[in-house]
Structure 1
Amino acid sequence: MVSFFRKSVPAPVVARQPRLPAGLRVYAIGDVHGRLDLLDEAFGKIDRTELERPSERNLTILLGDMIDRGPDSQGVVSHILTRSKRRWMLAMRGNHEQYLLDFLDDPDILEEWGPLGAFNTLLSYGLKPNRAPTPEQRRQLSQDLRAALPPGHLDFYQNLPISFSCHGYFFAHAGIRPGVALDQQSPEDLLWIRDEFLGHRGPFERVVVHGHTPVVVPELLPHRINLDTGAYATGRLTCALLEGDDVVLL
């Protein structure tokens, strides 16, 4: 378990704290990874916060990797789709959602995706995969998954954005490549980058809010905020409330 988490090293950064405009509140949620139970708790905390201290406008952002590893990826996506009908929400693409999309077109990607939690996702959609499928079985699983996706799920996966800017914040699943303008970032970096981003010690154009790399406790640094606390393994799903120039963990 120790090797699962990255050790945080504080970075000497001089950065201006972003400020959201009055009346706007943002809730950012880290990597869910199939833990519908924890996502439901997070949504409950958001609802209680809004009941006790209502905001004029509030946006909930999920930072990607909503599926895989945990037991109920299908339930997580269904819950997000249902809630988005009555709340302002933005679900973002993570590398695990990208794997699912790639698998629909290239069944052989399962060799790479499988060890990263794919089989739990396939099971959640009612499939019964062989843990060591042959090439023909991979092709059949790909077809079966496409057929098993409930209405709206394929559109959900296909239309997930890979980045989002909001005033002084920039949201991306994995992070950004230092030295590259935010509007020039590559999809691969936004979904996958680690060391070059995490080890950067200077300010960015905006404070980057991300997940992807699990840490024992959320990292609230001047230039980036990491909200991935390894929910599927730890039972801790982190949600941050951004309002004005405050960052509060629910």
Structure 2
Amino acid sequence: MIGFDQARGPAGLRIYAIGDVHGRFDLLQGMHRLIARENAKQPPHDWLVIHLGDYVDRGPQSREVLDLLERETLQSRNMLALAGNHDIGLLDFLSTGDAFGVFAHNGGRQTALSYGVDIDFDDAVSVLAGWKELVRAIPPAHKQFLRGLKRSVAFGDFYFCHAGIRPGVPLDLQNPDDLIWIRGEFLNNATLHPKVIVHGHTPVDDADVRSNRVNLDTGAFASGRLSGLMIEEDRKLLLEVAQRDDVLTP
């Protein structure tokens, strides 16, 4: 068990973790530019960007976010994307057309609009027609990207996932649903875990750094602030992009 202050990343690798994007393509672009500047200012031996999930819903540009991430993760070994519950919710809606699922009532309308499809989830006829239209509108590459998202990854003393872990369960035995959904049992537990958990999923006003976890979800779709964490061996640095102004916060 190890706490945040003592935790180290692997030797020779700079890691960037990015919190929930939720359709804020402008902020994601800004964070990528900020990372590029950090790498140019102090070139690392090697580097990796880990996106912590929830790329779609609520914000206005889910399609553009998926376009970027699908392309970047395919073309570069330095880009990694993990699954969030909203990303899986989109896949579930495409499969079932469920008018009462996560996608339907948690910002899915904005995702559909980014693909040129308008769905009124309070109208059964609109849901059925919109479901069929959205299935056709979303490019196969986006669907393949979403289906291929991992639930977690670990480097050094850090474990990255969307929502958190179930305390007391070995990291390699975590329930995949817990990794994208868990809240209370994880957030309210102050004991140290086998690794420091870097996550999003639960919005906070500012990036929340605790001894056993780091929450990077600062509600980008509503707050206009996207948060990240840089880890380089024993060095850790919080990053933030606010609207179109890149702000580096140590």
> What corresponds to 2:91 in structure 1?
101
Cα contact 2:83–2:180 (8 A) shared by 1: yes
Higher share in strand: 2
Taking structure 2 as the reference length, the TM-score comes to: 0.90
Kindly state the Cα deviation for residue 82 of structure 1 after the two structures are TM-superposed. 2.8
Deviation of the 1:141 alpha carbon: 2.5
Of all paired residues, the percent bearing the same amino acid is 44
1:147 aligns with 2:136: yes
SS class of match (1:212): coil
Q: Does structure 1 conserve the Cα–Cα contact (< 8 Å) formed by 2:2 and 2:194?
A: no
Query: Given the alignment of the two structures, is residue 138 of structure 1 paired with residue 123 of structure 2, yes or no?
Result: no
Once the two structures are superposed, residues 176-233 of structure 1 have per-residue CA deviations (whole angstroms, 9 ceiling, x without a partner) of 0111111111111111110100000110011000000011111111110100001011
Query: TM-score, normalized by length of structure 1?
Result: 0.90
Q: CA distance change for structure 1 residues 14 and 111 in 2, over 3 Å: closer, same or farther?
A: closer
Structure 1 partner of 2:245: none
The answer to whether 1:216 aligns with 2:201 is no
SS of 1:238 mapped into structure 2: strand
Distance in 2 (CA, whole Å) between partners of 1:31 and 1:155 is 20
Please identify, of 189-198 and 73-82, the stretch whose mean Cα deviation from structure 2 is larger.
Answer: 73-82
Paired residue for 1:68?
A: 57
**Structure 2: where are the runs of 5+ without partners?**
240-250
Over aligned residue pairs, what C-alpha RMSD do you find?
A: 1.7
Letter in 2 for 1:43: H
Matches within 5 A, 1:162-177: 162-177=151-166
CA contact (8 A) 2:15 2:49 kept: yes
Amino acid in structure 1 at the alignment position of 2:3? A
Runs (4+) of structure 1 moved beyond 3 Å?
A: 109-112
What is the aligned partner in structure 1 of residue 150 from structure 2? 161
Rounded Cα–Cα distance in structure 1 between residues aligned with 2:72 and 2:94: 26
SS at match of 2:144: helix
Aligned residues: 237
